[in-house]
Structure 1
Amino acid sequence: MGTEKSQAAGEPATKRQFRIWRGDETGGDLQDYLVEVNEGEVVLDVIHRLQSTDAPDLACRWNCKAGKCGSCSVEINGKPKLACMTRMSTFTEDETISVTPLRTFPIVRDLVTDVSFNYEKARETPAFAPPPGVTPGDYRMQQVDVERSQEFRKCIECFLCQTVCHVIRDHEENKPAFAGPRYFIRAAELDMHPLDTRDDRKEYAQAEQGLGYCNITKCCTEVCPEHIKITDNGIIPMKERVVDRKYDPLVWLGSKIFRRGQVPQTSVTSEHSPGAVHTRAAGPPAVHSHAGGSHDPQAEAQAQAGVNWHREVPRPTAPAVDASGKLPLTELTFDRAAAPSPFGDDVSFPLPPEHLNFAHPEQDKH
């Protein structure tokens, strides 16, 4: 281990052993470098010094150097990290530090990888859908509703959670059907948003984003530089709610009563029930994917081009209204301003009578 005088600070500088991957999409290998390291520096500082001395053609991606842009994602000693947030003081003096590109994504050159997979999944994720006629300046939310989804908005899209997820890290064939942890928490955030009018976020995450592939190993949470509890606060609640909506009749009933914008499912919504309201033209049943609940032709076409979704499933049900356009049933509404939390901690059963408001369909006539 050698030392020499640092001209910048006048303090002794230490030479440290680095092993950095060099190459491109055709191949490459690890190369050894002995690089000067000063007190208080991070791995990105050392890479920049290496670029100015022994390896001027070394390619790496970076931007803010403050842990907020997510650009400098690499794997340091085999673990996905931000180079600008990994201090050299965390390594022992005799330790060789290996720096390699993100393993899950195709290599462009040296430490730069092609992360376009993530942007493709971002485009596939349905965007925030505000209520009709409400402009951004007119949005009104209670603070408790802001706090529910604020944690997931801290994401800097470094894609460390994406690259560490073994579903695609070890199985390239899963990529077409799997969006990854970053977009699961995006779905969870929008599902918590009281102004989002889409009511199929959970179903979409299960059917189109591959939520069922995740077996909650929590590796994504461990590498998150923003300390987002991706698994505990995002993925697990989404999984639980998917199961509840499918199999728990009590939660299903509660969701129909409390969730804003959701119509209670009664006999009038069933195409097989007498007196049901039908809006679809007569004809043979069509092949219909799970994306059809959004009534979005483009989403439907994308789903039909996906993996294992070419099969006939029930079409979206008709509106539960009679010929006059009114709900032919008594309506119960909850006295809270927003949807319940996906964690299920703000609704108790049986329902307290003081929290229910009775509204008869013809009460305006009296």
Structure 2
Amino acid sequence: MSEQQTGQSGAYQAHFRVWRGDPDGGGLTDFRVEVHEGEVVLDIVHRLQATQAPDLAVRWNCKAGKCGSCSAEINGRPRLLCMTRMSVFDRAETITVTPMRGFPVVRDLVTDVSFNYAKAREIPAFVPPEELAPGEYRMQQEDVSRSQEFRKCIECFLCQDTCHVVRDHEENKSAFAGPRFLMRIAELDMHPLDAASAAGLDRKRTAQDAHGLGYCNITKCCTEVCPEGIKITDNALIPLKERAADRKYDPLVWLGSKIRRRKE
């Protein structure tokens, strides 16, 4: 690469292809744009807005990988624009930036993720134990640590986007909550202070019957794209599946539930 292409400061010209369009259609637009050392893809998108495409729509907020706003797909992989460094790509590589495929396009790189907020409202909240007042809750550190992993979720919805149950089958959306919200159910189900069962709510059963746990075939694609490194499949979905299967098919667990119910 010549000195003119790289520049004296180490800057270089990159080839970007960015999806432009709206719900009625669109396509990829080619750009040549300057890249500087240490930049992330979101920096380049902002430079495109400043120099070549002032009407380019992109959703972003913190630029620190904590708000989950700038989710998109880079070379076909769901990523956060602000956490994808330009240094991971070869300088001669064409970088394609497209909106998340799992959700309807609003405009350019912005998608309508309201599906996820609707699913969040369907998950029954934490049920506090009746015998304890606020401030009296006590938990073992081990139990705190187990659920703390899931609390790291920034709701970027990359796991929802990459899940093929949502991504490739629009007809499944009404019956499937997706990995982010099945993880929420798993978190509540393993919470030692959650009194859902005493209130008549069986989280394992509702995960299976109301939120589509059975649709998940544990391919781990959700775990692979999580920017927080949450082991969604291994630590949430598989254990929840095992508990749901025990609840439904294990004869001893089934008998125990009947005995407890009769005593109540």
Question: TM (normalized to structure 2)?
Answer: 0.93
Task: Tell me the residue number matched to 1:82.
Answer: 80
CA contact (8 A) 1:21 1:111 kept: yes
Q: Name 2:151's counterpart in structure 1.
A: 153
Q: Identify the match of residue 223 of structure 1 among 222, 225, 247.
A: 225
What is the CA-CA distance between 1:246 and the residue it aligns to?
A: 1.5
Number of matched pairs? 258
Match of 1:99 among 97, 100, 120: 97
Distance in 2 between the 1:83 and 1:268 partners?
51
- Of 186, 194, 197, 2:195 maps to 197
Report the secondary structure of 2:11's partner residue: strand
1:267 and 1:249 map into 2 onto residues whose CA distance is 14
Corresponding residue number in structure 2 for 1:13: 11
Cα pair distance change 1:236/1:74, threshold 3 Å? same
Q: State the TM-score, normalized to the length of structure 1.
A: 0.68
Is the contact made by 1:3 and 1:12 (CA closer than 8 Å) also made in structure 2?
no
Please give the alpha-carbon distance, in whole angstroms, between the structure 2 residues aligned to 1:133 and 1:30: 59
| Separation in structure 2 between the aligned mates of residue 32 and residue 79 of structure 1, nearest angstrom | 19
Q: How does 1:50-61 map to 2 (within 5 A)?
A: 50-61=48-59
Query: Which residue is 1:207 aligned to?
Result: 209
Query: Which runs of structure 2 are paired with 1:255-270 in the superposition (5 Å)?
Result: 256=256, 265-266=258-259, 269=262
Q: Percent identity at matched positions?
A: 70
* Residue 352 (structure 1) aligns with: none
Local SS of the residue matching 1:34: strand
Distance 2:138 2:32 in 1: 57
Q: Which runs of 5+ in 1 are unaligned?
A: 257-263, 270-319, 322-366
Quote how far apart the aligned CAs of 1:149 are.
1.0
Report the CA distance between 1:4 and its aligned residue. 6.2
> Once the two structures are superposed, what CA deviation does each residue of 1:130-188 show, in whole Å capped at 9, x if it has no partner?
01253432221111110121111110000000000001111101100000000011001
**Quick one: distance in 2 between partners of 1:267 and 1:74?**
48
How far does the alpha carbon of each residue in 1:72-123 deviate from its partner, in whole angstroms, 9 at most, with x for none? 0000000000000100010011100000000010100000000000000000
Q: Which residue of 2 aligns with 1:283?
A: none
By how many angstroms is 1:124 displaced? 0.4
What's the counterpart of residue 137 of structure 1?
135
Higher-Rg structure is 1
Contact residue 128 and residue 196 of structure 1 kept, 8 A: yes
* Most deviating of 236-245 and 177-186: 236-245
Aligned to 1:286: none
Aligned equivalent of 1:170 = 168
Distance 1:267 1:67 in 2: 46
The structure with more helix, counted as a fraction of residues: 2
Query: d(CA) in 2 for partners of 1:230 and 1:28?
Result: 34
Distance 2:6 2:160 in 1: 40
Find the counterpart in structure 2 of residue 259 from structure 1.
Answer: none
Q: What are the residue-to-residue correspondences of 1:16-31 with 2, within 5 Å?
A: 16-31=14-29
CA positional deviation for 1:3: 2.4
Following superposition of structure 1 onto structure 2, how do residues 1-366 of structure 1 map, counting pairs within 5 Å? 3=5, 5=7, 11-132=9-130, 134-199=132-197, 200-252=202-254, 256=256, 265-266=258-259, 269=262, 320-321=263-264
CA distance in 1, matches of 2:261, 2:45: 66
User: Using CA pairs below 8 Å that are at least 6 residues apart, which structure has the higher relative contact order?
Assistant: 2
Whole-Å Cα distance in 2 between the matches of residues 266 and 71 of structure 1?
48
Give the partner amino acid of 1:3. Answer: Q
Unaligned runs of 5+ in 2: none
Deviations 1:246-287 (A, max 9, x none): 12133456xx5xxxxxxx633983xxxxxxxxxxxxxxxxxx
Change (3 A) 1:242 1:96: same
Give the 3 Å change call, closer, same or farther, for CA 4–147 of structure 1 in structure 2: closer
